[in-house]
Amino acid sequence: MKIKIFILFVWAIVLFSNFTFQDSTYKAQSLKEAFKKDFAIGTALNSAQIEERNPRVNNLIVQQFNMATPENVMKSALLHPKWDTYDFTMADKLIAFGHKNNIKINGHTLIWHSQLPGFMRRIQSSDSVKTFFTDHIKTVASHFKGKVFSWDVVNEALNEDGTLRNSVFFQKLGENYVTEAFRLTQEASPNTELYYNDYNNEQPAKRAGCIRLIKKIQEAGVRIDGVGIQGHWHLGKIPFKDIEESILQYAALGIKVMITELDIEILPRNFQGAEVSQRMANNAESNPYPNGLPDEIQKQLADDYETLFKLFLKHKDKVTRVTFWGVNDGDSWLNNWPIRGRTNYPLLFDRNNQPKPAYFKVIGLKE
Ligand code: G3I
């Protein structure tokens, strides 16, 4: 009996020291693994990535991310090219890609004033807009029922001062259209999480408008599960205080908070946010780093990302997902907006799919 107890004791010590050893030398191999107990880690995927055209990029996606948002292929211009025609080809490929690789899909986006089908520009009557709005939500949400984890039901409905944007939907359907979009999506896809998504909605005035919008949906007895703060921020100017205040205020509404389109702008820009219709003129100073990023900028990027992720970790009970808007620097939309053909460096992986110093700072928070 004594021998048995002794063996058990020795076995327990070996087991314990083994765990301790593993813990102290543990190195996470990926973002999704490092943060798996904290929040999901997502990326935006473009058509080439959905079609797995580059094996290196594909390996990186599968290794690093457990959620994905289509960068473009689920927007209405692409899904709904003609009044009575839908094309789900690329979006279905995304669903299959997610299924194969254990990556949950956030649908993006059902109702957005931008990237609308061409025929919408010719529509004048409120009845026709209403028909488009209803049919589009019902058809698309039903098609992806049980296939997407969540929907950005409405995207960017607010102005910077927190009032509702004067979009075609606001003009023709009135201010209740946002609530109505959530109601229709809930009916068509009852088990899917439903989110409102915007940029700059960590800024106080826009945040207040966003809170009013969310409360209005809730007061109508319609479900909203979360809010996306897009997170298109600028090097050295990240509004950490506003972000923290927003996480707290949104979570107090009883909903999840997500960072849905994270990137950090490195290049000169004279405005904040992600209003796609805004453009800037090209000049001699607008593309300062075509051949690589100076060390001090690389360091500041790493520091900014580290501070951001510290904040997200501090509020991991409220933040459920952090999604980067692109896989590597070469894919980023910021190479072509607000000026075409610049060389930008806003993400954690470089143009050769290699982790940057910012990656090591972020993942280092968990080691
Ligand atoms: O597909 C056409 C291609 O056929 C054509 O040859 C080419 C020439 O310009 O354009 C291609 O379409 C482009 C499309 O991206 C796919 O690459 C559009 O011009 C371009 O405007 C479009 O930009 C997208 C932008 O939304 C449009 O609104 C960006 O990729 C995408 O990253 C961006 O994503 C938005 C989010 O959905 C919402 N929040 C802001 C965010 C950044 O703007």
Q: Please, which residues bridge with residue 321 across strands?
A: 40, 258
Closest Cα to residue 195, out of 259, 127, 273?
Answer: 259
In this prediction, residue 273 carries a pLDDT of: 84
Q: What is the rounded CA–CA span in Å between residue 315 and residue 248?
A: 8
**pLDDT of res. 15:** 40
Token match 């028909």: residue? Answer: 131
Residue 316 Cα, ligand 1 centroid: separation in angstroms?
A: 31
State in Å: Cα 206 to ligand 1 middle.
Answer: 24
For residue 152, the tally of other CB atoms under 10 A from its CB is 26
Reduce the DSSP state of residue 247 to 3 states and report it.
Answer: helix
What is the distance in A from the centroid of ligand 1 to the CA of 82?
Answer: 19
| Residue 102 falls in which region: left (phi positive, over 0), alpha (psi -120 to 50) or beta | left
**Cα angle: 74, vertex 129, 220; to 5 degrees:** 80
What's the CA dihedral at 313, 315, 318, 324 to 10 degrees? -40
Q: Considering only CA atoms, which residue is closest to atom 25 of ligand 1?
A: 276
**Token pair in block for residue 284:** 């001699």
- In ligand 1, the atom with minimum distance to the C-alpha of 337 is 43
- Report the amino acid identity of residue 188: A
Contacts of 130 (CB under 8 A, 6+ apart): 172, 173
> How many angstroms separate the alpha carbon of residue 276 from the centre of ligand 1?
9
Q: Which three-class secondary structure state does DSSP give residue 82?
A: strand
State the pLDDT at residue 310: 98
HSE-CB of 30 using CA atoms within 13 angstroms:
14
**Residue 180 appears among annotated catalytic residues:** no
DSSP per-residue letters across 154-192: EE--B-TTSSBP--HHHHHH-TTHHHHHHHHHHHH-TTS
Per-domain boundaries in the chain? 39-364
| pTM of full prediction above 0.85 | yes
Number of H helices, E strands in the chain: 14, 9
CATH top-level class for 39-364? Answer: alpha beta
Regions in the chain scoring below 70 on pLDDT: 1-28
Nearest CA to 345 out of 309, 308, 292 is that of 292
End-to-end Cα, the chain, rounded Å: 42
Distances (CA, A) of 231 to 11, 206, 298: 49, 14, 19
At 171-217, the pLDDT tens digits run: 999 999 999 999 999 999 999 999 999 999 999 999 999 999 999 99
Nearest by Cα to 302 from 335, 344, 346: 346
pLDDT tens, position by position, 297-333: 999 999 999 999 999 999 999 999 999 999 999 999 9
What's residue 28's pLDDT?
Answer: 64
Which residues approach ligand 1 with their CB closer than 6 A? 71-72, 114-115, 155, 199, 230, 261, 274, 276, 333
Mutate which of 49, 71, 79, 327 for ligand 1? The one with the most ligand atoms within 8 Å of its CB, which is: 71
Out of 230, 276, 335, mutate this one to test ligand 1's pocket (max ligand atoms within 8 Å of CB): namely: 276
Catalytic site residue from 261, 265, 296, 306: 261
Q: How confident is the model at residue 10, as a pLDDT?
A: 45
